[in-house]
Structure 1
Amino acid sequence: MRSQRLLLALLITISLLVTPTRADEPHYSAELIFPLHHQHNHAPGIAELSNGDLIVSWYRGSGERRSDDVAVYGSRRPKGSRSWSEPFLMADTPGFPDCNTCLMVDRQDRLWLFWPVILANTWESCLTHYKVTSHPIGDGPVTWDEDGMILLKPGEFHEQAQQALDQLLANLNRPLTEREQKEVETGMRLMKDPLYRRLGWQPRCKPTVLPSGRILLPLYSDTYSFSIMAISDDDGSTWYASKPLVGFGAIQPAVLRRDDGTLVAYMRENGITGKIRVSESNDDGLTWGPVGTSELPNPGSGLDGVRLQNGNWVLVYNDTTDGRHSLAVSLSEDEGRTWTATRHLERHAPKDGEFHYPTIIQSRDGRLHCVYSYFVDGGKSMKHAEFDEAWIRAGDE
């Protein structure tokens, strides 16, 4: 009898240990993808493969655009695992820096990697490249089927830029600084040169695939501090340019789609407003309306967003106007018109590190996966955070 009671107690204890978490309980877990590293590790991408595995990308080297040893690396996390593989090489153009990365799995379950190759150690000299594989699942390095470049021929946009500049100056209520004036004059001059209109467009945020199958790859230019979309209507076989998003400081767009078909681009502020920039398209990304500002702050740092399976939107961004020490996740229940809940992935003193350039997806099981550059005194890494909507709604502790 005593042995039966002991057995029953043991079974109850085991059942308590393995009882699954309730669906409505907040979930959060996080880990570094690799130990803190002495080199520069930055600008991640993430994708979920068809079998539930996760794969990430980032660039690594002794610097950024001026360092010719910079290459693209990757790591895998098998479905059900909490451990990431050893980093492996994904792309390297010998003698040239390979920088900002993003990933996409298309409707054929092919994995795409997009990144810029820097030709003359300036952002303005880059060309966006891609690699594709139809068999991304496995261990270790990816075996690519093809690679190529996205060559764009944007039309003239000098007049549109002049109108946007006049409006900006009218609302600024102060003269431009000497540095600002020089940057504007240089950008306006180079707009008239077809070579510079075709060079310098590079990725940061993941592509958006529309219900029609159209792919929008968000690109931006440091030549003008504008954004643009590379558009493909044939599953990536060919690409052409949208009209630019002319915002003088509005770069690195993340694109989300409303139920009525309106596209909303949220952009890093690289100018003077201190707010996340925003623009809308009503023709599937071919043309874009005026670039305005949102209510959300931005210190001149990358952001990303995702539409959830239930229709809600999530945006990840540095919620400061100075510094990248705070990284927030905000939730919208009305397709970006208002943001009703915010929680922090990182919240530190201004000099206690940089946590930035997030990329975010939702996996098939409903979990959110955010990867971001993690810079602290001991080195640099990529950090992966897995959480759900309930965790965001719970707010900061």
Structure 2
Amino acid sequence: MFTYLLVALGILVGQTPLGWAQPLAGPEGAGVDQVEFIYDEAPFPECHASTIEQTTKGTLVTAWFGGTEERHPDVGIWVSRLSDGKWSFPVEVANGVQADGQRFPTWNPVLFQPQDGPLMLFFKVGPSPREWWGEWMVSSDDGVTWQHRARLPNQGIGPVKNKPVQLADGTIVAPSSTEDNGWQIHVELTRDLGKNWTKIGPLNGDELGAIQPTILLHGQNRLQMLSRDRNGQGNIWQCWSEDGGKSWGEITSLGLPNPNSGIDAVTLKDGRHLLVYNHTVRGGPFPSGRDMLNVAVSRDGRSWEAALTLERVEGEFSYPAVIQSRDGMVHITYTWNRQRVRHVVVDPAKLKLHPVGDFDVKQ
């Protein structure tokens, strides 16, 4: 099945993928409006798993986990805000210190601004993804201060990596997953801004490893979930809901590769869908694994076209987060070599699309 997938994508096993040009130093091409780092210096050596959101007042806020290295007990959740065109110096807003003095690492922050209510920050605490639990807190001043930190009820995880979506009736659908009994995806629903949650799933068994889903909106409560694959030679998984996330259909391949690395996607105001992911497999010739980070666009969520190559050099460019701000611009953040968080602003109206095998075509 995977050989067929590679052929369909125009990738020849053991050779450089068709259409890929020389290494890029960073994002370039039609539609790229701005490229920057959230910070140049920080009080931690490593960072990962960024998230970005726009508040009701229009402020852009980012968060990520940072510390000595992933899994180290000193890893905390850090926040930066865009004010007067500049990102604020990173501030630690949460850590894993427990009442008994133990300290665990924190993981995978997710920012979300509901239609009504305060800015939400979800994150995980625990020694590993197999043992972590979900916590959250809120901010009423655009992320300057945070209050009401608490564990999610009913052993909830909350959105595990990517932002929730909010339906027309106010229901918040949080894409989530667990790793303690195989890799399994599920969703968590709340109709009262997080006071009570309902878990739907798991949606897959042990035979198919999927985690860290993201959700696209297709109208009339029709949702599409895309997920990361456990297999380094794998693909992005998809499944669909016709009832606002209460039930889900069969999980199938999206037809795009995934090297066991995080993805994110967003439904644009013009109805198209934009996906940020590593268009690679693990262990092959360059570019492989997390060497290359890409943007693809689709009108129906099934057929995708190449839009941008964000990175294409040896290194780690991974765990993207993507939103569309109220002015129509797309904001993407991602891990840049575990050292910094890169922020790329894209005008989706100016993207030039190509066959999905043509990433790195100069536009």
2:321 maps to which of 334, 359, 376: 359
Check the 8 A contact 1:276/1:297 in 2, yes or no: yes
More helix by proportion, 1 or 2?
A: 1
Q: After superposition, where does 1:141-180 map in structure 2 within 5 Å?
A: 142-152=144-154
TM-score normalised by structure 1 residue count: 0.74
Q: Supply the distance in 2 between the matched residues of 1:294 and 1:211 (Cα, whole angstroms).
A: 27
Structure 2 residue corresponding to 1:93, chosen from 93, 96, 99: 96
Distance in 1 of aligned mates of 2:257 and 2:140: 40
Match of 2:78 among 73, 89, 99: 73
Contact 2:134 2:156 in 1 (8 A): no
Corresponding position of 2:261: 301
Is the partner of 1:203 in helix, strand or coil?
coil
Task: State the partner residue of 2:197.
Answer: 239
Q: Deviations over 1:195-235 (max 9, x none)?
A: xxx58776100111111111111111112200111110112
- Structure 1 CA distance for aligned equivalents of residues 231 and 241 of structure 2: 22
SS in 2 for 1:310: coil
Unaligned runs of 5+ in 2: 1-29, 98-102, 283-288, 355-360
What does residue 173 of structure 2 align with?
A: 216
Q: Deviations over 1:34-85 (max 9, x none)?
A: 12666220001111122222110000111223x111100010112x61x211
- Distance, in Å, in 2 between the alignment partners of 1:123 and 1:201 is 13
Q: Which amino acid aligns with 2:236?
A: I
The secondary structure found in structure 1 opposite 2:130 is helix
Partner of 2:312: 347
What does residue 19 of structure 2 align with? none
1:151 & 1:234 partners in 2: Cα distance? 13
Residue segments in structure 1 that go unaligned for 5+ positions in a row: 1-24, 153-197
**One-letter amino acid of the structure 2 residue matched with residue 45 of structure 1:** T
Match of 2:59 in 1: 53
Residue in 1 aligned with 2:23? none
Given that 2:325 and 2:331 are in contact with CA atoms closer than 8 Å, whether structure 1 keeps it comes out as: yes
Q: Return the alpha-carbon distance in structure 1 between the equivalents of residues 234 and 131 of structure 2.
A: 27
Query: Which structure is higher in strand share?
Result: 2
User: What's the TM-score, normalizing by structure 2?
Assistant: 0.81
2:31 aligned residue: 26
Aligned partners of 2:185 and 2:201 also within 8 Å: no
- For 1:290 and 1:205, how far apart are their aligned partners in 2? 21
Dislocated runs of 4+, deviation >6 Å: 199-202
Residue of structure 2 in register with 1:393 after alignment: 352
User: What RMSD, in angstroms, separates the aligned Cα atoms of the two structures?
Assistant: 2.0
Distance (whole Å) between structure 2 residues aligned to residue 130 and residue 201 of structure 1: 8
Q: Distance in 1 between matches of 2:233 and 2:309?
A: 23
Say if 1:110 and 1:134, in contact at 8 Å, map to a contact too. Answer: yes
Give matches, 1:155-304, under 5 Å.
203-223=160-180, 224-246=182-204, 248-271=208-231, 274-304=234-264
Deviation at 1:33, TM superposition (A): 0.8
Q: Is the 8 A contact 1:304 1:360 kept in 2?
A: yes
Q: 1:244 to 1:269 in 2, by over 3 A?
A: same
C-alpha distance in structure 2 between counterparts of 1:338 and 1:251, whole Å: 22
Higher relative contact order (CA 8 A, sep 6+): 2
Percent identity between the two aligned chains: 33
